[in-house]
Amino acid sequence: MKKLPDKNCNLNELKDFCNVNFIITDIDGTLVKGGDGVIKQINSKIRFNWGKAFMTIATGRTFFGARKVIEELDIPRGIPLVLYNGSVIIAYQTNELLLHKTIPKYFLKKLENALNLEKEHFLVYTMKLSDKAFGITEDMVVEKVYGIGKVENGVDVNGLDIEKCKDSNDLLISPCSVLIDKSALSKESQKKVYDVLDHVEEVAYTDSGNGFVEISRNGVNKGIVFQIIQEKYPFLIKKSLAIGDNDNDCELLKAADIGVAVANGSDDAKQAADYICEHEGAAGVLDVIHTLKNASKYWGE
């Protein structure tokens, strides 16, 4: 891994960044960390400095939770959006669901047995596309979050209303994600949950120290988007660049032609990346945009 080239670098250091036309970035800890006004700067530089590039997102958030950022980035129609850490990939503003990997319901039963549901709970996320209209809008993506166990009325971290659910038998469709707040569990329950997670091959989880365990189908990660693009849109990418900050970005950073970790990135994210930004969060993303601008100026076709 190397330091991201800056304005004082040797021009040869910029050559690796020429002809990048596909930029994909994480949101939390990356694009929205210290990001007031940065997205507008990113959009203006992409449009007016090199014009042929576009940016999209790869996030653990729901569509609802990512929607504001998606709209601010002015992502072109049909470009893939990576949601739920790769469990769901949608072609933006179309009715095409490119990937939808779900968790088997029997796993939810194992979680129910591991917890004291009279005092503890976990959140279950389901997602589908409505067939009532064409084009992905707020009403086209139907997302639900269910609280199984002892859960209060309220909203989740994405701003979605939590619906109380007696148990997993009440779910009509299989979930694409499960979220557990470790702080709400006893030490005994935490141990039981990890025991379940480590013995069910069909699921995988990330536990990045933010207080939550995020569970998805095994084999799912953000980097899957490049396989999907190669299969569906083989001529879309000339050269790709991914930006991230955490362990769940590692596969994305490795799969891109160029992987960049922001300065506040985890050790694993930095190890997975080819370059590291000087600055944290959104300021680091802007570092990347400046580097691409300079590369295009000196080495572009």
- The range of the structural domain enclosing residue 67 comes to 2-100+221-299
Same domain for 213 and 264?
A: no
Chain segment 203-235, per-residue pLDDT in tens: 999 875 568 899 999 999 999 999 999 998 888
Confidence class of residue 36 from pLDDT cuts 50, 70 and 90?
A: low
SS3 58: strand
What CATH number should be reported for the domain holding residue 164? 3.30.1240.10
Tell me, what's the pLDDT at 132?
A: 59
What count of residues does the chain have?
301
170, 202, 217 - which closes a domain: 217
Asked if 23 contacts 56 with a C-beta cutoff of 8 angstroms, the reply is yes
77 and 148 share one domain: no
pLDDT of 42: 72
- On the question of pLDDT at 258 being above 50, the answer is yes
Q: Kindly give the pairing relationship between strand 2-3 and strand 275-276.
A: parallel
Q: For tokens 């009532």, name the residue.
A: 132
Do 117 and 204 belong together in one domain? yes
Domain-terminating residue out of 162, 194, 217: 217
Closest CA to 43 of 29, 30, 56, 33: 56
User: Structurally, how many domains does the chain consist of?
Assistant: 2
CATH of the domain at 69: 3.40.50.1000
Residues 148, 151, 153, 156: is their CA dihedral positive or negative? negative
Same domain as 134, residue 181: yes
Tell whether 116 and 207 lie within a shared domain: yes
Give dist(CA 18, CA 294) in Å, integer: 9
Q: Which two tokens stand for residue 174?
A: 């299989």
